[in-house]
Amino acid sequence: MASVAVVFADGCEEVEGLSVIDVLRRLGVQADMVGLTSKDVMGDHQIKLTCDKVVDESLLDYDLVALPGGMTGSANLRDNQKLRDLMVKRHAAGKWDAAMCAAPRALARYGVLDGADYTIFPGLDSETKKDAPTGNFKETITVTDLDHKVLTSRGPATAWAFAYAIAETLGVDTKDMKHAMLYDYLADNIQDSL
């Protein structure tokens, strides 16, 4: 069975991390909530989260590590040396990493986005271009770079697309779950409501 760690830092966008955990667990994927420095994390919207564990060497064992965004949360991820060291090791070992909203700036700082196709919250691509000058920014909902094993997404409204892209990258069939959660209905009808 595939395993995913979602790393939560104080100031994270709660919906981005919890959407990934929720969708993956519904699909039968081992999805662990990992606190950056503590099991107790306070999200950006004052929602207290209780994680399963705290960042340690076991991050190296997961098939994929995902980082939710939030300006404060992603800055905490970006600036944490222990997480940086583990993510650099993961990247060197050819492991999958994912980040959404503002969190791709952490991957850029770690060197993971060098040469990779990626997306990020609107306007933050100027920061990632400084830290990953050879990266290729795209304005799409999700970007999966198979060569660099990096998956990225734009922001809170794209959290389910991000979660499903993670599952599909790990070889999980999402068709039935997309239907059960009405994701396929939303995707088919979003333009009609605009």
* CATH code: domain of residue 118: 3.40.50.880
Query: Where in the sequence is the domain holding 141, given as residue range(s)?
Result: 3-193
Give me the sign of the Cα torsion angle 134, 86, 160, 178.
positive
- Residue 167, both tokens: 């599952």
Q: Identify the bridge partners of residue 4 per DSSP, sorted by sequence position.
A: 31, 64
Q: Is 46 helix (H, G, I), strand (E, B) or coil?
A: coil
Contacts 24+ apart (CB under 8 A), 164-167: 164/23, 166/4, 166/20, 166/24, 166/64, 166/66, 166/98, 167/23, 167/24, 167/27, 167/29
Answer yes or no: pTM beyond 0.75.
yes
Number of residues assigned to the chain: 194
C-beta separation of 133 from 116 below 8 A = no
Q: How many separate domains does the chain show?
A: 1
pLDDT tens digits, the chain, 194 residues: what are they? 899 999 999 999 999 999 999 999 999 999 999 999 999 999 999 999 999 999 999 999 999 999 999 999 999 999 999 999 999 999 999 999 999 999 999 999 999 999 999 999 999 999 999 999 999 999 999 999 999 999 999 999 999 999 999 999 999 999 999 999 999 998 888 766 66
